[in-house]
Chain A
Amino acid sequence: DIVLTQAPLSVSVTPGESASISCRSSKSLLSSKGITSLYWYLQKPGKSPQLLIYRMSNLASGVPDRFSGSGSETDFTLKISKVETEDVGVYYCAQFLEYPLTFGSGTKLEIK
C-alpha cells in the first residue's frame, strides 16, 4: 500500500499569514499518463471533507485561490496564503494512483 506521511501534525497560524502542509508519498504518484494523483481535502469541524486540490495542483471548483498545491512525484505541499478563520480544520492528502486508495493521517490547522 502507498503510505502518505503528513507534516506537521498541527499548525497554529495568525490570520493573514501563510501556512504550508507537507505530504510525502512512499511511492511516486506520477502515472503513465503524466498525471500526478495527489489530492488535498479539508475537513472543517463537524463537517464532511471537501476537495481542495486535485491532481496535485488543480484548484477544485469554488475553492479560494488562497489555496495552492505543488510538488514532485513523491513530495507535495499545500500552501494557504493569507489564512482566514474559516480555514480551521484538518487537512488530508490522498492518493488515487492505485488501490487501495490511501489518506494521510491529517494536519490540524488552528488559528492563533
Chain B
Amino acid sequence: QVTLKESGPGILQPSQTLSLTCTFSGFSLSTYGMGVGWIRQPSGKGLEWLANIWWDDDKYYNPSLKNRLTISKDTSNNQAFLKITNVDTADTATYYCARIGGFDYWGQGVMVTVSS
C-alpha cells in the first residue's frame, strides 16, 4: 500500500526558507524508475508542478521559480524534501508530494502560509 504524507512549518515570514518533508511508504526511492514530485495549489486555484527527484538522484525544477528550489531525498528513511528560499506571500499554498509514475499517489497536502 502506497502512502505519502507531507509536513511543513505551517506559517513563516517573507524572505524565510520553506522546508517541506514528504514521508512515504509502499515504494522505495532506491528502486529503478521510482521518483517523487512536488506540486502546489494556492487556495481556490490550479495545480503548479514544482520539482521531481528520481531514484538515480536526477532532479528537475520548474524554471518559473528560478533558483529558489532545492529537492533532495533520504532513501534510507523513505523521505523526500523540498526547500524554497526567499518566500513571499505568493508562495502561500497547499503543497503536495506525489509518486512519479504519472503522480498516481498523492499525499494529503500541507498548508503553508507566508505572512508577516
Contact = CB atoms under 8 A, between A and B. Distances in A.
A55 B107 CA distance: 22
Contacts, number: 52
B70 interface: no
Interface of A: 39, 41, 48-51, 54-55, 60-61, 92, 94, 96, 99-106
A54 B102 contact: yes
Contacts of A54: 102, 104
B63 interface: yes
Contacts of B104: 51, 54, 60-61
A60 B104 CA distance: 8
B64 to A, nearest CB: 7
A100 B49 contact: yes
Interface in B10-64: 37, 46-49, 52, 60-64
Contacts of B47: 41, 49, 92, 94, 103, 106
A45 to B, nearest CB: 12
Contacts of B52: 99, 101
Given A41-B47, A48-B106, 8 more contacts: A48-B108, A48-B109, A49-B103, A51-B104, A60-B104, A61-B104, A96-B102, A102-B49
> Closest 10 interchain pairs by CB?
A101-B49, A48-B106, A54-B102, A103-B47, A100-B62, A51-B104, A99-B60, A105-B46, A39-B102, A106-B46
